[in-house]
Amino acid sequence: MKKGSAFNRIFYTVGTIILIVMFTFVAVNFARDSRVLQGDTFASVKPSEKKAPEIKEESDNFETYTYEKKNDPKEETGKSAPKPTPAMKPKDIKVEVINYTGIKKLAESIRVTLEASGFVVSAGNEKSTKPVKTEIIERNDKKAGTMVKNILKVGTIRKEYDPRTRFDVTVIIGDDYKP
């Protein structure tokens, strides 16, 4: 018997055992986590608590919805009617203050000022290698940036919608800030 053939047999045997063990491991995990092996594929899917919109008519696999047209004041007068905005209260507005100036306790000072006006505020310090401009950024449609600007009397207002953030307004205190 050749030395090479004994080595090859051992190599192939060990490799086959490793493959069988890996395949078994994957199959067990797949069976444990998969809904495919549960008989009815959709049996474990919980129904959504939201109701689907009512379908008024069905034709050729297309869903047709019926909408009622409401009178548009713009059509009648040629001008758009002002939209009523609910009165915002500072307690309903969450403000984030970020200090880029390097001045110690500046973010804390601004936080205290805004909280005294009723806002819910979170404050912190950051560093930047680039010059940073003082800005008030509106993160949603509440238009609360003007209220914050009227209190702080600094910065420009900019809209940058971010549905992932919990804040309504972000105040960036930049290098151009004069206390």
pLDDT reported for residue 82:
43
User: Which residue has better confidence, 149 or 1?
Assistant: 149
Q: Give the residue with greater pLDDT, 36 vs 173.
A: 173
pLDDT at 81 (0 to 100) = 42
DSSP of 37-56: TSSSTTTTPPPPSSPPPPP-
Of 15-19, 52-56, 76-80, 152-156, give the range with the top mean pLDDT.
Answer: 15-19
Taking a C-beta distance cutoff of 8 angstroms, is the pair 120, 147 a contact?
Answer: no
Q: How confident is the model at residue 1 (pLDDT cuts 50, 70, 90)?
A: low
CA separation (Å) from 19 to 22, 23, 34, 52? Answer: 5, 6, 22, 47
State the pLDDT confidence band at 120, using cuts at 50, 70 and 90.
very high
pLDDT at 18: 95
CATH topology of domain 90-173: Alpha-Beta Plaits (3.30.70)
Q: Which residue has the higher pLDDT, 160 or 64?
A: 160
Find the mean pLDDT for residues 16-38: 76
CB count within 10 Å of CB 156 equals: 11
Domain ranges of the chain: 90-173
Do the Cβ atoms of 56 and 64 come closer than 8 Å?
A: yes
Query: Is pLDDT of 153 > 50?
Result: yes
Q: What is the per-residue pLDDT across 48-106, written as a single tens digit (0 to 9) for each?
A: 444 444 444 444 444 444 444 445 444 445 554 444 455 678 888 999 999 999 899 99
